[in-house]
Structure 1
């Protein structure tokens, strides 16, 4: 029979009373809390009706994994008042009442201030990074990478996840404000506030398991869309983070050593992750270049004009998602001369397809903003809208009802060539 057991359970500072009641119930079952070490550690003993008081220590830190000198001094003061100090972690201090007539460790007003202070500091440490990342991701999504990410389900899910995470943090901010006012009002009329309850427990469950859900779903999406390397990166990243966290939780370094350990862990993580990402990027790029047959490319220069030489470079990219798709192709012929004297002939084009007009309209606007000196060529392309630009070669941006074409050609295109391109890429109604 085991004499010790570990419970992987955590509480928020606004759940100090729920935490104390949990320890009390465990003691009634014969399991007595002794310390934190990768979870809550309990020792088997006789069933006792122990009363626990969990306090938020104002001089503590989120980097504390064990009692620091300030905490030990605080514990001596409390033990003299009839409270036995059990253990501490971060700003939590756990005491067990040893004397029936022991006075409260702090006044109700002081307790509320300590809990508010601890709660706000934890909120800041947990939220600032997430809010900053969310803002950066949305800025990049709406400006630089919209035309790719909108068709990339994995990235859309991650954007949704960080957005939901940030919204919950903002809501948590308002909840703490309201909770603080509510507890203050209870104290003002002589009541003793209870810190905890079902709402706090539900919020804690969401905080603890939301990212487990996010990582699991993201890995599943990556595998379904055959981005196996992304799933591997996530698995390696999460494993290293878990290992670092577990080692810190077991070793319980001092506050100063914990800072050093975590900084070293982050640097070590980067040393592992960055080479993996670089390797995957290089190998993925090698697989795309010179790896396409002519049958795999929907449109070649030879489809709509006379051309000599041979294909010396091809490239392609594709995103397929619930909101549509994006396909990219590059074809370059060597050993030929075009009208401007180039020794090669290049053609690249993006075909965006979506039943959501707002998506195509936004991509159209983004390409249009990058176009200088454009002339209207809607009639030639028989499209809803089309423009042509470019001083060296020609760039065409063409909008149809459910498709958008963004194409570069070394030479301007005439109407016959445009009709061939429309037919090959299935753009609009073919006359």
Structure 2
């Protein structure tokens, strides 16, 4: 049984509205008639293959959050029908019409200069403002990944973002510059009395491939990275995903109700107000629920998998000094460049006094990323914790080359109080803190045999 309808990836930029006409004519000749145009896809229904004429016109009183069937829109479409065109559907500012091949409808726009003014005040402004805002957000987002932070390499999203987010920024900035060039060229033609260059279907398809395909690939990679992080940090990832997903659902629903249910532009204010209230209430409830889940997850005592090297306080202490085990917390993680890492904390009650130890272990795919981890931890200890613009709890880091030779490692530094040590050998980095005698030979041999 032949399909009666199908959806295709749309991908056209609004400034390519004339190229859409050629595309729709080709689809009609193949037996597919346009029914609806969405944000990313267009819906077609099966018809007898035939030649049809299409017109995609710009209605300046439309918009992404303007009702589809306002009095002005209905009057405009009636005027177009008098010219011989049959209305199909609309998408924001664009209105789609068709006519049979044996009909000779009058053109809706007859003045190139006037048409360009409409395009400039609607499509160009809407598309370019969106691209400019996206470019600004992209540049601001670069501060999230650059300069490269060692903590950003510890998750799938951080590692893939560090690699692919700059590529995404390049595509967005490139298209913004390209759009400006197109508009400036059109303005120059109008001043010289020359016709405005109409984009061909071939050039529009090139733009679709050049911009949408890389963005789509990067988007898929980022989604997969979120799924990877969800295996290790479901609470944190769940909260980070839930907000954007819920925002998308509310935004899509808001747009639908405004487009389909509202009769006047003023009705949009009511729907927007309701949507804002829903988002605020939802985020408040969701934040409380995930906060409780996150806290309960932190203080649980997890078992340690056998394939993770670990040194416990019981192994470091002897006799009565071993005391009684208190809290034990093990949080593993994984990323494409740091495939195995964990944060281990242990406390023991020794002769009535609580003693603690913390181990952070990082196994990188090569020496380059291990260097970033080692230097990142060292700089973090030197800076301390930033509170209200000031750095607190900063520590003095010292190098002990004699100790490094004894440990037989590539890099080794300690805090001045010698209560923390950072050791790197090849692609492995270990950061240990606690009341431990790192100069002790047995301690050194135990740590080296476990981790290196």
Match of 1:179 among 177, 182, 188: 182
- When structure 1 is superposed on structure 2, of 194-203 and 169-178 the one drifting more is 194-203
Report the CA distance shift for 1:403/1:9 in structure 2 as closer, same or farther (over 3 A).
Answer: closer
Q: SS of 1:125's equivalent?
A: helix
Instruction: Judge conservation of contact 1:78–1:105 (CA < 8 Å) in 2.
Output: no
Instruction: Judge conservation of contact 2:154–2:333 (CA < 8 Å) in 1.
Output: yes
Q: SS of 1:386's equivalent?
A: strand
How many angstroms does 1:100 deviate by? 3.4
Report the CA distance shift for 1:353/1:313 in structure 2 as closer, same or farther (over 3 A).
Answer: same
Q: Which residue of 2 aligns with 1:369?
A: 383
Instruction: Judge conservation of contact 1:334–1:345 (CA < 8 Å) in 2.
Output: yes
Q: Which residue of 2 aligns with 1:165?
A: 168
Match of 1:302 among 314, 323, 340: 314
Match of 1:53 among 39, 52, 55: 55
Q: Aligned pair 1:404/2:429, yes or no?
A: yes
- When structure 1 is superposed on structure 2, of 393-402 and 304-313 the one drifting more is 393-402
How many angstroms does 1:333 deviate by? 0.4
Q: Which residue of 2 aligns with 1:102?
A: 106
Name structure 1 gaps, 5 residues minimum: 338-342
Deviations 1:337-389, CA, capped at 9 Å, x for gaps: 5xxxxx20011122334321541334433333334344443433435341313
Report the CA distance shift for 1:350/1:162 in structure 2 as closer, same or farther (over 3 A).
Answer: same
Q: Which residue of 2 aligns with 1:68?
A: 70
Q: How far apart in 2 are the matches of 1:257 and 1:159? A: 43
Q: How far apart in 1 are the matches of 2:125 and 2:213? A: 21
Q: How far apart in 2 are the matches of 1:160 and 1:256? A: 45
How many angstroms does 1:22 deviate by? 2.8
Match of 1:312 among 326, 329, 341: 326
- When structure 1 is superposed on structure 2, of 2-11 and 358-367 the one drifting more is 2-11
TM-score norm. by structure 2 comes to 0.72
Q: SS of 1:406's equivalent?
A: strand
Q: Alignment length, in residue pairs?
A: 418
Q: How far apart in 2 are the matches of 1:364 and 1:147? A: 11
Instruction: Judge conservation of contact 2:156–2:228 (CA < 8 Å) in 1.
Output: no
Q: SS of 2:360's equivalent?
A: strand
Instruction: Judge conservation of contact 1:64–1:91 (CA < 8 Å) in 2.
Output: no
How many angstroms does 1:223 deviate by? 5.3
Q: How far apart in 2 are the matches of 1:79 and 1:109? A: 23
How many angstroms does 1:72 deviate by? 4.1
Instruction: Judge conservation of contact 1:319–1:327 (CA < 8 Å) in 2.
Output: yes
Q: How far apart in 1 are the matches of 2:49 and 2:176? A: 40
Q: SS of 1:331's equivalent?
A: strand
Q: Which residue of 1 aligns with 2:349?
A: 334
Q: SS of 1:60's equivalent?
A: coil
How many angstroms does 1:287 deviate by? 5.2
Q: SS of 2:154's equivalent?
A: coil
Q: How far apart in 2 are the matches of 1:34 and 1:293? A: 58
Q: Which residue of 1 aligns with 2:252?
A: 245
Q: SS of 1:150's equivalent?
A: helix
Q: How far apart in 1 are the matches of 2:240 and 2:436? A: 43
Q: Which residue of 1 aligns with 2:413?
A: 386
Instruction: Judge conservation of contact 1:386–1:399 (CA < 8 Å) in 2.
Output: no
- When structure 1 is superposed on structure 2, of 215-224 and 174-183 the one drifting more is 215-224
Q: Which residue of 2 aligns with 1:426?
A: 451
Q: SS of 1:51's equivalent?
A: strand
Q: How far apart in 2 are the matches of 1:326 and 1:258? A: 50
Q: SS of 1:321's equivalent?
A: coil
Q: How far apart in 2 are the matches of 1:377 and 1:335? A: 30
Instruction: Judge conservation of contact 2:62–2:68 (CA < 8 Å) in 1.
Output: no
Match of 1:290 among 283, 296, 301: 301
Instruction: Judge conservation of contact 1:52–1:96 (CA < 8 Å) in 2.
Output: yes
CA RMSD across the alignment:
4.5
Name structure 2 gaps, 5 residues minimum: 385-393
Q: How far apart in 1 are the matches of 2:16 and 2:416? A: 63
Q: Which residue of 2 aligns with 1:340?
A: none
How many angstroms does 1:303 deviate by? 2.6
Q: Which residue of 1 aligns with 2:420?
A: 395
Report the CA distance shift for 1:19/1:67 in structure 2 as closer, same or farther (over 3 A).
Answer: farther
How many angstroms does 1:278 deviate by? 6.3
Instruction: Judge conservation of contact 2:157–2:225 (CA < 8 Å) in 1.
Output: yes
Deviations 1:371-428, CA, capped at 9 Å, x for gaps: 43444434334353413135xx82334454543333221366444365245425435x
